[in-house]
């Protein structure tokens, strides 16, 4: 089944007069003074010559709210600030985002799960400040199936070796930039081949990340469990979900490691998952149509570490 971490489409605009509250909800931030206001999601908000849309020149975050509580908001705000700095964008202060998120959630109807997207873009040519907004949309139930049933993934090359990020910072590797057209094209390619998701591989043969996720591997040695994921300097997005999982795993006495991994390491593992903020965890069932080991006990343990809601 398809998986991606884009918030639901905003076509569900039940009643434009209610567009300010309900779901989805939009809060526009004025980057000049840090003020914010609820806005009509069905009304135009950006100029067509805004580089945010014309070039995809901006950065973003997507965070999950479960039962009204945002998950790891500070990790998202830290990464947003780092992404903005890497892209030379002046970011509103963290308290501006926090207040705007709170306004969006107050206006949003109560839901089991809400996807909150924070966007910071360049603005039109010559503008002194960027554009920024918070978008909140109901995503309850959307990830139940992938969390429960897992996904099939294809290994796809991403071009470039695993260590290109340090040599070529302009590639914005590791930055959560708005330019996701390549990642979305990779997902469409995978779906045309009958898979659900993608695991990118570097030109020198190392596992990188999913199209919108990090790759988590578990190795068991008796009672001892080690979680592994590719190193952050391999030009991948430093995942907030992966970091939260590693922290919880360490507290449980498990080991965790950043390591260069090959496809063979995935086949030899005791379990492989894709992690990201909205889906949280999706076990990988098959890679390039070859079955990966699955362990219901490891699934249950990892899901408990992240407190993943599980339906059915």
CB of 22 to ligand PLP, least distance (A): 25
Instruction: Please say which residue, 42 or 172, places its beta carbon nearer to ligand PLP.
Output: 172
Task: Build a one-symbol-per-residue string for 171-200: x at contacts with ligand PLP by CB under 6 A, - elsewhere.
Answer: ------------------------------
Position of tokens 């990642």? 183
Give the Cα separation of 68 and 212 in Å (integer). 24
Residues touching ligand PLP: how many (CB under 6 A)?
A: 14
* CB 162 to ligand PLP: min, Å: 15
* 240 contacts ligand PLP (rule: CB under 6 A): yes
Using CB under 6 A, which of 134, 209, 282, 298 touches ligand PLP?
A: 209
- Beta carbons within 8 Å of 34's beta carbon, 6+ residues apart: 92, 93, 96
| Residue placing its CB nearer to ligand PLP in the complex, 38 or 153 | 153
Specify whether the CB–CB gap between 47 and 41 falls below 8 A.
Answer: no
Give yes or no for residue 256 binding ligand PLP (CB under 6 A).
no
Identify the three-state secondary structure at position 291. Answer: strand
Return the residue of 150, 239, 271, 283 that touches ligand PLP, per CB under 6 A: 239
Q: Which is nearer to ligand PLP, 103 or 277 (CB)?
A: 277
Should residue 229 be labelled a site residue for ligand PLP when binding is judged by CB under 6 A?
no
HSE, CB side, 13 Å, CA atoms: give it for residue 312.
8
Residue 284 near residue 152 (C-beta atoms within 8 A): yes
Check binding of 214 to ligand PLP (CB under 6 A). yes
23: contact with ligand PLP by CB under 6 A: no
Distance CA 94, CA 300 (A): 34
Does 237 bind ligand PLP (CB under 6 A)? Our answer is yes
Stretch that binds ligand PLP, among 8-16, 50-58, 103-111, 236-244 (CB under 6 A): 236-244
State how far the Cα of 110 lies from the Cα of 66, in Å rounded to an integer: 10
Give Cβ neighbours of residue 102 (< 8 Å, ≥ 6 apart).
Answer: none
Which DSSP state fits 124? B
Minimal distance in Å, beta carbon 277 to ligand PLP? 3
Contacts of ligand PLP in 272-311 (CB under 6 A): 275-277
Residue 275's closest CA among 228, 235, 226, 234? 228
Q: State how far the Cα of 63 lies from the Cα of 299, in Å rounded to an integer.
A: 22
Cα–Cα distances in Å, from 258 out to 1, 10, 206, 234? Answer: 29, 37, 13, 10
- For residue 307, whether the previous peptide bond is cis, meaning omega lies within 30 degrees of 0, is no
Whichever of 83 and 214 has its CB closer to ligand PLP, that residue is 214
Residue closer to ligand PLP (CB basis): 133 or 246? 246
Contact window for ligand PLP (CB under 6 A) among 29-37, 87-95, 137-145, 239-247: 239-247
Binding-site member from 23, 177, 229, 241 for ligand PLP (CB under 6 A)? 241
Cβ 140 vs Cβ 185: under 8 Å: no
Q: Strand 151-157 vs strand 197-201: parallel, antiparallel, or unpaired?
A: parallel
Stretch in the footprint of ligand PLP (CB under 6 A) among 8-16, 207-215, 221-229, 257-265? 207-215
Query: Which of 52, 103, 202, 213 is close enough to bind ligand PLP by CB under 6 A?
Result: 213
Residue numbers at the binding site for ligand PLP (CB under 6 A) = 5, 62, 209, 212-214, 237, 239-242, 275-277
């Amino acid at each position: 089944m398809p998986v991606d971490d884009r918030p639901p489409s905003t076509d569900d605009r039940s009643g434009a007069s209610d567009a300010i509250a309900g779901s989805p909800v939009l809060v526009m931030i004025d980057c000049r003074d840090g003020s914010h206001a609820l806005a009509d999601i069905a009304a135009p908000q950006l100029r067509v010559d805004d580089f945010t849309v014309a070039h995809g020149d901006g950065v973003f975050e997507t965070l999950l709210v479960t039962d009204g509580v945002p998950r790891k908001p500070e990790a998202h705000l830290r990464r947003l600030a780092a992404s903005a700095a890497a892209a030379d964008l002046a970011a509103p202060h963290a308290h501006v985002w926090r207040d705007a998120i709170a306004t969006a959630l107050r206006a949003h109807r109560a839901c089991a799960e809400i996807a909150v997207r924070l966007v910071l873009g360049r603005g039109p040519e010559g503008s002194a400040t960027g554009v920024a907004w918070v978008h909140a949309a109901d995503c309850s139930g959307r990830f139940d199936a992938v969390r429960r049933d897992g996904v099939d993934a294809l290994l796809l090359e991403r071009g470039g070796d695993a260590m290109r990020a340090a040599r070529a910072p302009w590639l914005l590797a590791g930055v959560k930039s708005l330019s996701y057209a390549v990642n979305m094209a990779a997902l469409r390619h995978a779906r045309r081949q009958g898979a659900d998701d993608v695991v990118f591989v570097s030109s020198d043969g190392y596992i990188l990340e999913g199209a919108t996720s990090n790759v988590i591997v578990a190795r068991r040695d008796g009672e001892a469990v080690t979680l592994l994921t590719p190193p952050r300097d391999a030009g991948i997005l430093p995942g907030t979900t992966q970091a939260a999982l590693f922290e919880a795993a360490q507290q449980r006495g498990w080991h965790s490691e950043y390591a260069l991994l090959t496809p063979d390491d995935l086949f030899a593992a005791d379990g492989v998952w894709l992690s990201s903020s909205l889906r949280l965890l999706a076990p990988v069932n098959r890679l390039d149509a070859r079955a990966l080991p699955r362990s219901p006990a490891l699934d249950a343990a990892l899901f408990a570490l992240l407190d993943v809601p599980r339906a059915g």
